[in-house]
């Protein structure tokens, strides 16, 4: 499947994802914040590219995602959009761009859809944002949900530890998933919750669940692209599988370049005009 997908990739829409869940085909999602990474992801047949507000951590160097603005998201999403032919692009709506009112949500999500031309937005939160989600979906803005560890609420949680380990919070996550499905989300990210709970949620809704640190029973998986490439070296939670060690490769290349410049072996006459 993956080989033919690479040669002849399909255009992924929100409807494709529902079909994938029904057919038991896993959904592969990664983040991207720039043109080149998005181009390579799209070339090899990624299903969804998330322009995550994790841009605040891994690109901008902030401690949390809270300082990210709608303008930041639009800037990065436009770069990603220029590279992508087939993947569904989903843009994270940043902290305080949709929680404040339906009007704010419409204005800010509307800007992202109109100015960038992406397929969908992602909002963090459960029951308490259901009315906002319902309205956005009604006016034609597809919404992906995000439950469990929701990094925009870090100041409420006080920690990035696994969420919903007790029954009460587990029941709330399940309830939130059903309410969001009823409000019209086309998929839900489940972040850092026990795999048993993620399995239960995935079996209880018809829309796909996309896990990050939520175990193998979700309908798809997502990782932050710089984590899986080994660029965020100090960040080593057990759910991040490293598919490359790019930090070492980058340092090696930079050291060699510095040595070549200082040793006067770069550039040669062949590399000159
Ligand atoms: O911002 C982000 O990268 C995310 C993923 C971790 C799901 O929301």
Which residue's alpha carbon is at the smallest distance from atom 8 of ligand 1?
52
Domain ranges of the chain: 14-245
Would the pLDDT of 3 be above 50? no
Q: Catalytic residue at 25? A: no
Q: How far is the CA of 23 from the centre of ligand 1 (A)?
A: 25
Confidence of residue 24 (pLDDT cuts 50, 70, 90): very high
- pLDDT tens digits for 198-256? 999 999 999 999 999 999 999 999 999 999 999 999 999 999 999 999 999 999 999 99
Is 167 in contact with 200 (CB distance < 8 Å)?
no
Rounded Cα distance between 15 and 184, Å, is 12
Homologous superfamily in CATH for domain 14-245: Phosphoenolpyruvate-binding domains (3.20.20.60)
Q: Is 147 in the pocket of ligand 1 (CB under 6 A)?
A: no
Would the pLDDT of 84 be above 70? yes
Task: Calculate the dihedral angle through the C-alpha atoms of 246, 249, 252, 257, rounding to the nearest 10 degrees.
Answer: -100
Which residue's alpha carbon is at the smallest distance from atom 2 of ligand 1?
52
- The rounded percent of the chain whose pLDDT value lies above 90 is 96
- pLDDT tens digits for 86-110? 999 999 999 999 999 999 999 999 9
Q: Is 189 in the pocket of ligand 1 (CB under 6 A)?
A: yes
Q: Is 218 in the pocket of ligand 1 (CB under 6 A)?
A: no
Is 50 in contact with 30 (CB distance < 8 Å)?
yes
Would the pLDDT of 13 be above 60? yes
Would the pLDDT of 5 be above 60? no
Rounded Cα distance between 76 and 71, Å, is 9
Residues sharing a CB contact under 8 Å with residue 53, sequence separation 6 or more, in sequence order: 65, 68, 73, 92, 93, 94, 95, 151, 152
Residue located via tokens 């709506």: 93
- pLDDT tens digits for 110-140? 999 999 999 999 999 999 999 999 999 999 9
Given 25, 115, 124, 191, which residue is catalytic?
191
Is 145 in contact with 160 (CB distance < 8 Å)?
no
- pLDDT tens digits for 32-83? 999 999 999 999 999 999 999 999 999 999 999 999 999 999 999 999 999 9
Which residue's alpha carbon is at the smallest distance from atom 1 of ligand 1?
52
Q: What are the φ and ψ backbone dihedral angles of 83, each rounded to 5 degrees?
A: -95, -15
Rounded Cα distance between 217 and 214, Å, is 8
Task: Calculate the dihedral angle through the C-alpha atoms of 90, 96, 99, 103, rounding to the nearest 10 degrees.
Answer: -90
Rounded Cα distance between 271 and 208, Å, is 52
Q: How, if at all, do strands 220-223 and 187-191 pair?
A: unpaired
């Amino acid at each position: 499947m993956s080989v033919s997908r690479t040669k002849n990739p399909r255009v992924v829409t929100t409807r494709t994802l529902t079909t994938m869940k029904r057919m038991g085909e896993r959904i592969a999602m990664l983040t991207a914040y720039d043109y080149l990474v998005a181009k390579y992801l799209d070339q090899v047949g990624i299903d969804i590219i998330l322009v995550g507000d994790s841009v605040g951590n891994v690109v901008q160097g902030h401690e949390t995602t809270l300082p990210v603005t709608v303008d930041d998201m639009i800037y990065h999403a436009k770069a990603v959009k220029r590279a992508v032919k087939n993947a569904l692009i989903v843009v994270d709506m940043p902290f305080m761009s949709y929680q404040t009112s339906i009007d704010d949500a419409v204005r800010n999500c509307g800007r992202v859809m109109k100015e960038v031309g992406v397929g969908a937005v992602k909002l963090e939160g459960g029951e308490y944002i259901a009315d906002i989600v319902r309205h956005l979906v009604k006016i034609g803005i597809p919404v992906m949900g995000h439950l469990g560890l929701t990094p925009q609420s870090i100041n409420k949680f006080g920690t990035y530890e696994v969420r919903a380990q007790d029954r009460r919070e587990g029941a709330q996550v399940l309830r939130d998933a059903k309410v969001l499905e009823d409000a019209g989300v086309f998929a839900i990210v489940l972040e850092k919750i026990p795999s048993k709970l993620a399995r239960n949620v995935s079996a209880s809704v018809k829309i796909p669940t996309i896990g990050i640190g939520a175990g193998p029973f979700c309908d798809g998986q997502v990782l932050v692209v710089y984590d899986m490439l080994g660029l965020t070296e100090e960040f080593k939670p057990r759910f991040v599988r490293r598919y490359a060690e790019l930090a070492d490769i980058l340092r090696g290349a930079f050291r060699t370049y510095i040595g070549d410049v200082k040793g006067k072996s770069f550039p040669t006459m062949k590399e000159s005009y």
